[in-house]
Structure 1
């Protein structure tokens, strides 16, 4: 169903994995989908071609999420060309897992710059182009709320910070009817965490239904929040992890 016809979407880190699945899903629903990428130019161009071949509309914009001027510039470019940006998906993120004592200050800054700072900057920048009734959807992690093993301190901290940001923005932007929510994926079958990888067994053991998400499982929840059906939800956390956190 073309429930998003006429809407413009911006996705950070949309060339691969969950971001690419969200781009495919929202484009199939009729939205014009723009997404940022950093190094994956071939994957970004291939995704644009795939979406256009299926009858959708997509645009890839090169922007490093650690560079606030580049991120702001990408959003300004899209806003100037499309008039409005109706939906923002803050998807870009990095995962660094190791003992807490091994992290340097530079490691701390690197993770927080992408996982937290860039989300704040993108959200702030897009509000200049977002009409009343827009959507901001942050991609968190089920590790923000439950940490089942060691080595996850930095990542869990960064994703937990997004919960507070999501709830605060939801409260602040309510007068504009802008819904702000966060989706927490659990173990998801991507090139970063394949379902047949060496660490998959331990992850499956945590789940009520022992099955990895597909990237489209997450995209389906995001798409529901993006369309009219999700209008009553704001400041809400939705966990997609086959029961790993229950």
Structure 2
């Protein structure tokens, strides 16, 4: 509520009096051009940068009052360009060795990676090269989704990956979001209209401000609204980022 944030405590705010509320277990699609404040919002949630003003509450608790370790263990992020560290698949999924092999396999099954992993000679001990270069872009994001499932995080921030992902893998990601995370609170930085339309609410950001907020179908019918323009433009292809720029 009333969140204001600057990088380094100087310059123009990158978040300007941002206020919104989402119910637990719902999906919020966040859209806007580069520089609109989407990444800054994620930085604020994980307290990578502290707010100058305002506050963020999760389950009624101000996150500024929570220890950083506890806060970040309760949340998870799935980046667009998923970075995997070198080592075994199991050590990446469960770095503190807190889950059983059966639990790990269960999460892999939920994101449809179990067949691929079981076909590897070392299975859960298969070696991931630096940045996961021996996996496709889609497989890397599915591995990150499996890691999030294993952690049982309360809040998940996901930067939708669309570039260089084949349609079949992309469909698996979309299915995982809808089915395996149906009880999780998710903020999805969305780049395509079909992803946005499956969310409970959409937040359109511009220059660090929230300019529209509401159910996607309601916003798509709002006369003169930015999201409605984006919806129509998306029918001709391109990304939401490109379209917001085109309408500036």
TM-score computed with the length of structure 1 as normaliser: 0.35
Using CA pairs under 8 Å that are at least 6 residues apart, name the structure with larger relative contact order, 1 or 2.
Answer: 2
Bigger helix fraction: 1
